[in-house]
Structure 1
């Protein structure tokens, strides 16, 4: 079948959401050329269709894996996605597939993972699926040289890289101002908290009770946390969507907010201190050049047994203190409060930004739009 010119299908996280790089590209595209909106669609899971229809009333949605979806996918001029498509769905040879991916890798990816711990899959099957999928990508976005080198290895990708940074991060350059930040705080909290800290841990593949049922353990005591930080501090917890209902914040509902579905870039913009472990959020947040605190409480297990890292986590000169116990964590928070940051890590933060944010400048989505409007020509 011939593709239909300017028919564009977007998809975020296998249709679970409308977010991340595909949404940033969509917004920029209809801003540049409003006439194209009528032929742009987001592919979403049927189970999420009602929720996303209400959340994004001006975006056209199609239900994933339905007869209508097949008609649009088969004739699309472009696919713009941040995760993999099922192997059984074939791509029209005339369709241009732009893979945006969704993070700078610290943890091993694709065929670089020696032992896959995903329920219902094997290591060989996982590797085979990744290589077959990456062969279909016409373009792959690389946020930095470090990522491009890893993507070549992990995905066995041999087509065209777009060395432009991530479109989702454009807002960290274009909207990083007091007025916009105040608007976001008001919308999320209903007031202007003095200090916002965000705990955004990584997804732990093996922390499940049984297939499809995962756990979440907060590695610090909330009462002790709020005794240590300054008054007026609000804590945002940004969990994986599979565990967002497993977090106990009883007694702290007024000072702890669980934001699993909100736009993480807006959360970055209002956050004064990011607390994480091995999550790729560290690379995106580094664009803002703000303090970070690393709490890898299960470092040995995660590094050596579960996923493995691309660089030595403890020797990489991370842009903030690294703590592995609750007492060390509280001590670091006390230091942050007293010094209003981590001044001893400013040099590390600068170097980290130069390495991982070098291709970011707030214009990534605009460059993708130019590629689309030129018909996908290199």
Structure 2
């Protein structure tokens, strides 16, 4: 028996990969006849990354096919397109943010072995963006039904266009199967719907959910006023009404009137009053926090918030106010060239003020000048966050550049790792995300992760990292100049060792004897050691001609240019370094501990093209062998690096900063 799973994939780029893997990883083994799979992913040709993810899945798994719709996206039309070409005996319709839970296919196989129902209802639940599980709504929906395809086609069942397009076919199917005695249920939870803060692309939060009223009007007309419609309608409309992520409190009275339920409104208001009391209690607690923050802000800041925004002022920050660096620095430099009318001012902490280059304007965080700048700047650019809980005003435009491609879990994806997130306020992370207007993406992988880890309504900018422009335009003369400034003799082989920090360990502790490694490599080799910035400005390593501590060097891009190869572990530097097309050695002696403690998106040890950047070592002895034996620059390592570079550096062409500046400040192209 073949099951066709139709997956409508539109604007679900942060969720789709897991959705498809949840289906294709299913084992058909069960007590009944094995079930084969056909997966039809239906997308739209509008530049959505989800279509590329679907095609990747189809290249790996012949059971997956990709369909592309014509015209404006509509979920119902996409599902109909999938059903029209399905070959399976049964149909299951999932969205890109749904999951088929482990073991579901085996359970379905066993249930279908008992009989061949026309409709099989599946147990289902929901999980919100905090990871909290909720029971399913108890209402029929496309995602929690299996339909026998011959039955679907015989009764000409089709999804309608627009929001709530599954109401008519799902209920009609249920009524028909119930009348024929061919409606069955599987109590096991098989499908999980992942709720999104911004709603689905089809039905975002707001009055668009009023469409459910019209959907039931169509159902009543299409079934000749079937006596079961009113009960189904009331249950569904009540569920929609009680969901604050769909109908806002201010719209509830209008929803009641539109639904023709005025008699029920008074009773509902009573229940609403109880909920409002709870909301007020929470509001009092929040007000206390806001009052505390307000007292910390100076009177001048409150006054400055009433000043008009300065359309020519941009404020920049990097690495929690550590100075002039990273993507914001590259954007600042390009803005001075392409948008000289924009005055840029940097935010820096008092202990890092010496890091500011001469001639670059800055304000000290928490100072009066800082608060005035934050109150009146039209443009905000940062790779982390601005200090002090500033109030983002209407009209301010915030660009979040980020500061690396995610290898370890980020944002809300860290929720399953509570041991390492003590003191982290995920509510604050979400509140910060809601300030962003633009989120810069270094590659499709980052776009996919940011969409899920930082859920909000910002616009993704798939432009590449401005800080990498210098790598794309690198020359041998630049490398030689930087080497000379570091005191490195001409002709030396330079290896940059740049491990990241460990959440579960304090202080910088290299997992390799650097002096011993330098001796093994010989006098022609120099090791540059750069610790993570969390550890300060020194790695604490012994200095000398062969091992140089470059932790305090202001620009890691210059260290990249000075080196012949990078040795790292889980640092996002590897993704930037790949732009140079120079060897990368992954030295990961604590891989299993790191993955278990923090979680990772990329399996460095898999050996798969696109995952592993080059040669890999898991012990100090292996690292010496890789370097001394030449495996770090072998044809095999070169091939892995090329695939890694293709995956993570597709936008890096030397013009990322220009694209960002033109988009952010509205500078027209020549």
Partners in 1 of 2:322 and 2:551 — Cα distance? Answer: 13
Report the number of matched residues. 357
Tell me if structure 2 keeps the 8 A contact 1:193–1:233: no
Partners in 2 of 1:357 and 1:153 — Cα distance? Answer: 21
Q: Shift of the alpha carbon at 1:228?
A: 2.3
**1:194 maps to which residue?**
492
Tell me if structure 2 keeps the 8 A contact 1:152–1:158: no
395, 400, 405: which one pairs with 1:99? 400
**2:564 maps to which residue?**
272
Partner SS state of residue 15, structure 1 = coil
Partners in 1 of 2:654 and 2:391 — Cα distance? Answer: 34
Tell me the C-alpha RMSD between the 2 structures: 2.1
Establish whether residue 115 from structure 1 lines up as the match of residue 417 from structure 2. yes
449, 471, 476: which one pairs with 1:172? 471
**2:352 maps to which residue?**
48
Alpha carbons of structure 1 residues 193 and 16: separation in structure 2 relative to 1, 3 Å: farther
Partners in 2 of 1:340 and 1:97 — Cα distance? Answer: 41
Q: Shift of the alpha carbon at 1:35?
A: 4.6
Alpha carbons of structure 1 residues 273 and 3: separation in structure 2 relative to 1, 3 Å: same
**2:626 maps to which residue?**
332
The normalised TM-score by structure 2 is: 0.51
**1:27 maps to which residue?**
333
The normalised TM-score by structure 1 is: 0.89
Alpha carbons of structure 1 residues 11 and 165: separation in structure 2 relative to 1, 3 Å: same
Alpha carbons of structure 1 residues 159 and 34: separation in structure 2 relative to 1, 3 Å: closer
Alpha carbons of structure 1 residues 70 and 355: separation in structure 2 relative to 1, 3 Å: same
**1:226 maps to which residue?**
518
Tell me if structure 2 keeps the 8 A contact 1:98–1:137: yes
Partner SS state of residue 633, structure 2 = coil
Partners in 1 of 2:472 and 2:314 — Cα distance? Answer: 27
Partners in 1 of 2:417 and 2:454 — Cα distance? Answer: 16
Q: Shift of the alpha carbon at 1:120?
A: 6.1
Alpha carbons of structure 1 residues 227 and 343: separation in structure 2 relative to 1, 3 Å: farther
Establish whether residue 350 from structure 1 lines up as the match of residue 642 from structure 2. yes
**1:311 maps to which residue?**
602
Deviation per CA, 1:272-291, whole angstroms, max 9, x where unpaired? 11000111111101111111
Q: Shift of the alpha carbon at 1:118?
A: 5.4
Alpha carbons of structure 1 residues 355 and 132: separation in structure 2 relative to 1, 3 Å: same
**1:66 maps to which residue?**
367
Partners in 2 of 1:242 and 1:133 — Cα distance? Answer: 21
Deviation per CA, 1:107-165, whole angstroms, max 9, x where unpaired? 0001101224558604xx2x212111111100010111111010011111332111110
Structure 1 runs, 4 residues or longer, greater than 6 Å off: none
Tell me if structure 1 keeps the 8 A contact 2:309–2:378: yes
Alpha carbons of structure 1 residues 190 and 345: separation in structure 2 relative to 1, 3 Å: closer
322, 332, 339: which one pairs with 1:16? 322
Q: Shift of the alpha carbon at 1:179?
A: 1.2
Establish whether residue 159 from structure 1 lines up as the match of residue 450 from structure 2. no
Partners in 2 of 1:19 and 1:241 — Cα distance? Answer: 12
**1:253 maps to which residue?**
544
Partner SS state of residue 261, structure 1 = coil
- Segments of 5+ residues of structure 1 without an aligned counterpart are 209-214
**1:145 maps to which residue?**
444
Tell me if structure 1 keeps the 8 A contact 2:374–2:390: no
Q: Shift of the alpha carbon at 1:16?
A: 1.1
Tell me if structure 1 keeps the 8 A contact 2:443–2:647: yes
- Segments of 5+ residues of structure 2 without an aligned counterpart are 1-305
Partners in 1 of 2:389 and 2:663 — Cα distance? Answer: 28
